[in-house]
Amino acid sequence: MNKISEVVSCLDGYDPNALRVDKAREAIRACLAPVEDCERVATRAALGRVLAQDVVPGFDVPAHDNSAMDGYAVRAADLRVDGDSRLREIGAALAGRPFHGELGAGECVRVTTGAVMPAGADTVVIQEVVRAESGAVIVPPGQKRRQNTRAAGEDLKTGVAVLGPGRALAPADLGLIASLGIAEVTVRRRLRVAFFSTGDELASVGAPLAEGQVYDSNRYTLYGMLARLGVEIRDMGVVRDDPALLEAAFASGAANADAIVTSGGVSVGEADFTKQMMAKLGEVLFWRIAMRPGRPMAFGRIDAGGSSAYLFGLPGNPVAVMVTFYQFVRDALLHLSGRTDDCAIPLLRVAASHPIRKVAGRTEYQRGVLFEDGGEWKVRTTGQQGSGVLRSMSEANCFIVLEHERGRVEAGEPVQVQLFDGLA
């Protein structure tokens, strides 16, 4: 394992005291080594897991040319272009019950959606346009060869890999795998993530709140964000600002998890006493990131008894925890889980409905509400943007991502947003 400090010092423009968001992301990415262990799981249990094999069809899907509609399978060559065609119905092909004969000139076969195309037929005429007249089937002109049919292999082709390693399996992928009759797949093992909160002022939910204390809400937001990533979670509770307790917690985290996420204790004043301890346990960098909220953050590795874990030391402020998690930790954990795509949250451009205050020289993640206004999408902020105002996250449905160089935004200007929800 290369030293983290050596890896990051090779990056252009790396400055730990004024680190741009994109640099911080690049620095983290350069240090990550994904989990390699795999396991076999039932297809359904693979939802959200990272595939570790190719999925290669052993046969075409669909296996045969078949009808896309209910109607009549015909021979296009029999159809007149200038008027009605009279055909003789010689049988039926239902989904799952093929017709075993072959169509001759002037013949047709009744078909339902999904029925194997009878031999000789190449076209399906939907039942709604067909008339029955004294035992004959009357097809109007205007039909096109091959219409309303599905070709063998149009979905999946024999021997052509349809899914590959590094892919997080979505509902459609489970369906594709099932359509090949595959009951089990090989996936990477789940990433194990330990997390805890630090702070002498924190009370745990359920305990009474003494004067000057605040309830530990970060462990709840972190729980929610981690649970949605599908990682294995280990909640280590609250750890007091005490070097010995912190050291024990980090060592335990490193022994039992692939990554440790903490909140609090990385701001300049507090970091001093954790720095020495961390230097003893591994290699941790303390950054000041040119962003708001979420300026201080620590990143590194903690070693304990032969195993080690990545450390993401997030700031304590409740909004800063969420912003730094979504902007850095989420992608890092997905990569560590083995995903090979660029798991970034998409940035969409919409118009700002109101002016937004912004200072150039840092990336801001304001909490926004995306709304429709006369057929156009617009975004406004959720009012108070303090990094302790967690309500702003709860009310928001997106981040408004204001780029590093950008200054004040005027009403109507395009801004980038990241949606909190997608198809789930």
- The CB-of-198 to ligand AMP minimum distance in angstroms stands at 6
Give which of Mg ion, ligand AMP, none residue 197 binds (C-beta under 5 to 8 Å, depending on kind).
ligand AMP
Q: Which window, 52-60, 215-223, 346-354, 406-414, contacts ligand AMP (CB under 6 A)?
A: 215-223
Q: How many whole angstroms separate alpha carbon 336 and alpha carbon 33?
A: 6
Q: Which is nearer to ligand AMP, 150 or 219 (CB)?
A: 219
Which residues between 145 and 174 bind ligand AMP (CB under 6 A)?
A: none
Position 318 contacts ligand AMP (CB under 6 A): yes
Please report, as ranges, the residues that interact with Mg ion according to CB under 5 A.
199, 264-265, 316
- Of 349, 337, 321, 315, which Cα lies nearest the Cα of 419? 349
Instruction: Centre a 10 Å sphere on the Cβ of residue 66 and count the other Cβ atoms it contains.
Output: 23
- Of 234, 179, 187, which Cα lies nearest the Cα of 45? 187
Position 270 contacts ligand AMP (CB under 6 A): yes
Position 253 contacts ligand AMP (CB under 6 A): no
Q: Which is nearer to ligand AMP, 217 or 256 (CB)?
A: 217
- Of 320, 277, 280, 273, which Cα lies nearest the Cα of 297? 320
Q: Which is nearer to ligand AMP, 72 or 250 (CB)?
A: 250
Give the residue carrying structure tokens 């990415």: 29
Position 416 contacts ligand AMP (CB under 6 A): no
Pair 180, 163: CB distance under 8 Å: no
Position 317 contacts ligand AMP (CB under 6 A): yes
Q: Which window, 53-61, 97-105, 258-266, 358-366, contacts ligand AMP (CB under 6 A)?
A: 258-266
Q: How many whole angstroms separate alpha carbon 134 and alpha carbon 137?
A: 8
User: Residues 73, 77, 81, 85: is their CA dihedral positive or negative?
Assistant: negative
Q: How many whole angstroms separate alpha carbon 127 and alpha carbon 133?
A: 14
The closest residue (CB) to Mg ion is 264
Q: Which SS3 state, helix, strand or coil, does residue 373 take?
A: strand
Q: Which is nearer to Mg ion, 264 or 293 (CB)?
A: 264
| One of 71, 118, 165, 265 touching ligand AMP (CB under 6 A) | 265
- The DSSP result for 335-349, as a single string, is HHTT--S--PPP-EE
Q: Which window, 159-167, 261-269, 272-280, 340-348, contacts ligand AMP (CB under 6 A)?
A: 261-269
Q: Which window, 130-138, 188-196, 260-268, 356-364, contacts ligand AMP (CB under 6 A)?
A: 260-268
- The CB-of-395 to Mg ion minimum distance in angstroms stands at 26
Position 262 contacts ligand AMP (CB under 6 A): no
Q: Which window, 162-170, 249-257, 310-318, 359-367, contacts ligand AMP (CB under 6 A)?
A: 310-318
- The DSSP result for 84-130, as a single string, is -EEEEEEEEEBTTB---SB--TTEEEEE-TTPBPPBT--EEEEGGG-
- Please confirm whether the linkage preceding 62 is cis (ω < 30° from 0): yes
- The CB-of-250 to ligand AMP minimum distance in angstroms stands at 16
Instruction: Centre a 10 Å sphere on the Cβ of residue 412 and count the other Cβ atoms it contains.
Output: 11
Interface contacts to ligand AMP, rule CB under 6 A:
197, 199, 201-202, 214, 216-218, 263-265, 267, 270, 315-318
